[in-house]
Amino acid sequence: MIVVLKNGVGKEQQDDLKRFLEGYGVKVSVTEGTQTTIFGLLGDTSNIDINAVEAQDAVETVKRVQEPYKKANRKFHPDNTEVKVGDLVIGGKKLTVIAGPCSVESEEQIVEIARRVKAAGATMLRGGAFKPRTSPYSFQGLHAEGLELLRIARKETGLPIVTEIMNTEDLDLFADVDVIQVGARSMQNFELLKELGKTDKPILLKRGLANTYEEMLMSAEYIMAGGNENVILCERGIRTYETFTRNTLDISAIPVLKRLSHLPVIIDPSHAAGLPWMVEPLSKASIAAGADGLIIEVHNNPAKALSDGAQSLTPDQFDGIMERLAPLAQVVDRTL
């Protein structure tokens, strides 16, 4: 951390500031110029509140050099983390493909879709029971019943299930869910993250629609600081000025997150664009860029879906995409 002092700060005030900073357990190195004095902070600065330093009278500006996250930081964990879900490994050579409907609607629906996506090569089943909808007048999910239907689909197909939690009060209901998803709107629901940190469940953490890489890794850090290191990062499109697509897929998130962190990174091409014909090119781009997997919306009858039908693929379309992704995975030394 580098602290630039205001012009004209006297010796005494400098010494006070130096002592204040040393209180954080770091060494302070002073560089005095004709106009500007700079303090370099050496040691572990991750527990220093940058805002508290900026609030000191003598301080002009503060610049971080070290990242503020530790457990999620590749510097301290050079090897890739592999998250285990039963026999499955997320972040290994085999790509993870999670597929299923936006919302669980009925036993027939979820079981049929589960069978189809499994046949096409998906390794996990997604489906929402608690749905964060922009409008209070939209379908809000089947809640506990939806989770029960997911369990039935798991029993029928053997596919582990991934589903979203929205509130700490519902945590008990998720006891036998295989992967708990934290949605984009909850990425900074810190109370929820803390509770999930106390479990040992794999957590699929989606990036908030306008959150930075650093903020995302700090949210992962919340979960990991609680003791749960089974975090899977998921990029699902960010908000930009462009309105043709629902969001803008940030493909750079793949190489950046994998460089900054050791956690697996998967991509959600369905929400990123909101347009089914874009799922294929975005999936291809993601695998080529080094993603560890995909999460794709598939519905057996998009026109009758209770949510997000417009961006869902049909099982037939999903079959075709999976076939065309396989040789691409091979070229980048992965398997599908």
**59-63 β-sheet, strand order:** 27-32, 37-42, 2-5, 59-63
Q: What is the radius of gyration, based on Cα positions, of the chain?
A: 23
Footprint (CB under 8 A) of a second copy, residues 78-97: none
Among 19, 63, 93, 155, binds a second copy (CB under 8 A): 63
Nearest-angstrom CA–CA distance, 117 and 176 = 21
Stretch binding a second copy (CB under 8 A), from 80-88, 93-101, 108-116, 164-172: 164-172
Among 10, 135, 172, 200, binds a second copy (CB under 8 A): 135
Q: Which residues pair with 31 in a beta bridge?
A: 38
Q: Please pick, from the candidates 180, 266, 287, 322, the single residue that binds a second copy as defined by CB under 8 A.
A: 287
What is the token pair recorded at 134?
A: 């922009």
46 binds a second copy (CB under 8 A): yes
Spatial contact of 74 and 11, defined as CB atoms under 8 Å apart = no
Distance of alpha carbon 273 from alpha carbon 297, whole angstroms: 12
Minimum CB distance to a second copy smaller for 15 or for 54: 54
Question: Measured between alpha carbons, how far is 336 from 332 in angstroms, rounded to an integer?
Answer: 11
At 120, list the tokens.
């096409």
Question: According to CB under 8 A, which one of 15, 22, 25, 54 is a site residue for a second copy?
Answer: 54
Contact with a second copy (CB under 8 A): which of 9, 14, 24, 56? 56
Which DSSP helix (H) or strand (E) runs through 165? strand 161-165
Between residues 79 and 169, which has the closer beta carbon with respect to a second copy? 169
Q: Identify which range of 81-89, 105-113, 149-157, 270-278 contacts a second copy by CB under 8 A.
A: 270-278
- Kindly give, in sequence order, each residue whose CB lies less than 8 Å from that of residue 114, ignoring residues fewer than 6 positions away: 100, 125, 153, 154, 156, 157, 159
- Single out the residue of 105, 235, 292, 308 in contact with a second copy (rule: CB under 8 A): 308
Rule CB under 8 A: is residue 22 a binding residue for a second copy?
no
Q: Per CB under 8 A, does 198 bind a second copy?
A: no
State which amino acid sits at residue 175.
Answer: A
Q: Which of 166, 203, 231, 322 binds a second copy (CB under 8 A)?
A: 166
Binding residue for a second copy (CB under 8 A) from 22, 25, 27, 335? 27
Could you tell me if 206 and 182 are in contact, meaning their C-beta atoms sit under 8 angstroms apart? yes
- Shortest Å, Cβ 330 to a second copy: 8
- Residue 15 found at the interface with a second copy (CB under 8 A): no
The two structure tokens encoding residue 115: 């069978």
Stretch that binds a second copy, among 58-66, 105-113, 117-125, 145-153 (CB under 8 A): 58-66
Distance CA 263, CA 217 (A): 10
